Chain A
Amino acid sequence: MPQFIRPRIPKLVVFLGAILIVIIAVLVWLWSVYGYRVNQYSCTNYAMGAYVQQTVYGTNAEDAAADAAKAIGQLENLISWRIEGSDIQKLNAEAGTNWEEMDEQTLSILAKCLEVAERSNGAFDPTILPVSALWDFGGDNQQVPEESMLEEFMGYVNYQDLRIDEEEGSASLKYHYMGVDLGAVGKGAACQEAVEAYAEAGASGIVSVGGSVGICGEKPDGSLWNIAVRDPNSGEEKTAALGTLSLESGYISTSGSYEKYFTEDGVTYHHLLDPKTGYPAESGLVSVTVICDDGTLSDALSTACFVLGLEQGVELLESYGAGGVFIDQENHIFLSGIAQDAFELMSEEYTIEELP
């Protein structure tokens, strides 16, 4: 009897040992692939009239995300013209009357806006509010304004009458009825706030506010960050991506005519107004995505490029050292200032063309 039992014990040990090795191998594999998710934190909330989505990596990811959300809220309270007591609301209320003292942050955003306004020759204009309020895209009263009204209010749109005194820390609008709307840059500026909050907390992460994106640090697995560029004409399924950008850092903003629009008497009007005409810009473009190292600038530049059109838009981006993906109405894609392999086209509906 004993000589029969003896060999069975080591056999069982070997067998269990083998199972143990398999289990350990599986755990190691799972750890190597998904381990970084232990310190991953994702959350969503609303700010700047948009959907804020954060994915943060690090041991204090959750705190970093909370700090970012708080910073975005504070920024909104400074720069939204809709918020009572904000710097911009006060600036607009004092238009034509007084200089208004304001936060350094608001002034710095205003200064960046003015710079893009100048360099784009007014294709981007932060003082568009009198006219954009008439159209009220996405609001309860969206409509084509009467021509006489539009003409009258166009007289109050001029970025040159927005003045900044950085020494005094104040700004003013020269005439009554003028108004600043930072809606075109608020989302990018908010991304920058979030990125700064992550950096301060020693975390890495990616934030999107509406269609603007900000990148902070390195992805835990060492790969590049993948940002999907929405397909403007994906019909029913507008969530489809036409391509992806693989980036190490920076801020990404898109201005597209498909974002906000309405149809009246069979004509479709989109929300990207040309400050020169007061009507939706017609530059032959459907969407412009800009990649830049500043969130406010990338937002302002994408708006300016959409209004300017391909050729002048490319020139403007080059002067800023920024990258761009331009999509025109014929489904042609033009890449400017970004490496060929940084953009991967995924839709067969589009073709990448050489810049003219």
Chain B
Amino acid sequence: MKQSVIKKADVVLIAALLAAVVVWLVWPRPDGCIAVIEQDGEELQRIDLSSLVEEKEIDLGGSYEVRLLAGPGYIEFLSSLCPDQVCVRTGRLTKAGEAAVCLPAKISVRLEGETVGYDAYTG
């Protein structure tokens, strides 16, 4: 009796495997943004925003008493004692590549992630 090297079941198995890989590659992944909090270029904290399930306040202290608010997929400056308030007015960061900065406190928050849509911001 001659036996085929590849059985029908094997073909099905390989096809299924291939299909699984293709689906895994094409499947839209959540943004999975990582918020990187830095002071004067030194990293203070790194938060995986996609892993948050509820809002969380981050007290960074310092002479400007900077406070951040992080939640599922976003982060923002909640308050700062700086005179210009540019950081608070920047609002919510949600997309990879976005950044908010408190210049007086030299604190910056930027979102790192796979879906960097822009190379830079102007304005």
Bound together: yes
Residues of A with Cβ closer than 8 Å to B?
7, 10-11, 14-15, 18-19, 22, 25-26, 29, 43-46, 49-51, 53, 55, 137-140, 142, 206-208, 211-213, 219, 225-230, 232, 234-239, 241, 244-245, 252-254, 256, 259-260, 287, 289
Please indicate the chain A residues that have their CB under 8 angstroms from the CB of B98 in the complex.
239
Contact yes or no, A15 B10, CB < 8 A: yes
B93 shortest CB reach to chain A, Å:
6
A-B CB pair tally, cutoff 8 Å: 128
* Complexed CA–CA distance, A7 and B89 (Å): 71
Contact yes or no, A50 B10, CB < 8 A: no
Contact yes or no, A241 B83, CB < 8 A: no
* Complexed CA–CA distance, A313 and B24 (Å): 51
Output the nearest chain A residue to B106 by Cβ-Cβ distance: A46
Contact yes or no, B5 A10, CB < 8 A: yes
30 A-B pairs with CB atoms under 8 Å apart are A11-B7, A14-B6, A18-B14, A22-B17, A26-B25, A44-B108, A49-B103, A51-B99, A53-B99, A53-B110, A138-B103, A142-B83, A211-B121, A211-B122, A212-B122, A213-B122, A227-B118, A227-B119, A228-B97, A228-B122, A230-B121, A230-B123, A234-B91, A239-B94, A239-B100, A241-B118, A241-B121, A254-B123, A256-B123, A259-B86
Given contacts A22-B17, A142-B83, A229-B123, contact A7 B3 (CB under 8 A): yes
Contact yes or no, A22 B21, CB < 8 A: yes
Partner of B21, one of A14, A26, A212, A253: A26
A71 shortest CB reach to chain B, Å:
16
Q: Which 10 A-B pairs have the closest CB atoms?
A: A230-B123, A45-B41, A254-B123, A228-B118, A51-B101, A237-B91, A138-B84, A208-B120, A254-B122, A213-B120
Partner of A29, one of B17, B25, B122: B25
Query: Is there a chain A Cβ closer than 8 Å to B52's Cβ?
Result: no
Contact yes or no, B108 A51, CB < 8 A: yes
